[in-house]
Amino acid sequence: MDRKVLSVKGAELRTISLDDAVFGREVSDGAIYHAVRNELANARVGTAKTKTRSEVAGSHRKPWRQKGTGRARAGTYQSPVRVGGGRAFGPRPRDYSYTLPRKMKRAAMMSLLSMKTRDDDLIVVEDFTIESGKTRELVEILSALAGDQKTVLILGDDDAMVKRAGRNIARMKYLTYSRLRAHDLLYSDKLVVTESAAKNLCAFYGNGGEE
C-alpha cells in the first residue's frame, strides 16, 4: 500500500510503499490481548507481602485453658481470626513475568500497526532530528502532525537528541522500530513513524527479523 510522507510542517512531500504483510494484515485481537497482558505482567514488581501467624509479634501463651470456660478453643494470639493476628493466604513476594512466544508477539505488533493504518491513525513523516534538543521544537512538529492527541513516535534509530527533547512531553512516547511496546501502540491516538522507521519496520517484520 502507498502512504503519504509528510514534512515536519505537515505538508505532503511524496509517497512511500508499505508492506501489506506488516501494515495491511488482518488484525488479531487475541495476539494484541496477550502481548499487552504480558507487558503489564512483566512490569509488576511483585513485592506485596503480609505476615503469617508465625511472623506477627505477640505472646505465644495459650489465651485460656482448653476446657471449662464456655468459650471456643484458642491456641494462640496470632490466629488469623483474631484482631492483630496473621493473615491467612495473603500475598507473598513473587515474580509475575513470563515469556510470550515470539510469533505471537510479532503478530501482535503487526496487528497494531495494521489497525492504526486501517483507522488512518498512522502518519509517516520525513526523517528529522532536534539538534538543539529543545522540547519546544519537538512540540511544534508534533502539533503540526497530530495536534494535541496522545502520540507515539517511532524512530528509525536511537536518536538521543529527539529523546532529550521529548522527555517533558506528557502526551508523547518514543520507541525504536525494533523495540515496540504493544501497550503504548494500543492506547495511542496517533502513531507518527519516521520514513526510515517505516522502511525498517517493513524489513524487520516482513522478512522474519529477530526481536
Distance CA(72)–CA(70), nearest Å, equals 7
Residue 1 confidence (pLDDT): 86
Output the average pLDDT for the chain. 92
| Within a domain: 83 | no
**Tally of domains in the chain:** 1
Low-confidence ranges of the chain (pLDDT < 70): 207-211
| Within a domain: 57 | no
Distance CA(22)–CA(186), nearest Å, equals 16
Residue 208 confidence (pLDDT): 47
Residue 207 confidence (pLDDT): 62
| Within a domain: 94 | no
| Within a domain: 89 | no
C-alpha cell at 108: 501482535
Residue 209 confidence (pLDDT): 45
| Within a domain: 174 | yes
| Within a domain: 50 | no
Task: Please report where in the chains the cell 492527541 appears, as a residue.
Answer: 149
Query: For residue 16, what is the domain's CATH number?
Result: 3.40.1370.10
Question: Can you spell out the DSSP letters for 29-74?
Answer: HHHHHHHHHHHHHHH---------TTTS-S--S-SS-SSSSSSPP-
Query: Which domain range does residue 111 map to?
Result: 2-31+100-206
**Buried/exposed 39-67: b ≥16 CB within 10 Å, e otherwise:** beeeeeeeeeeeebbeebeeeeeeeeeee
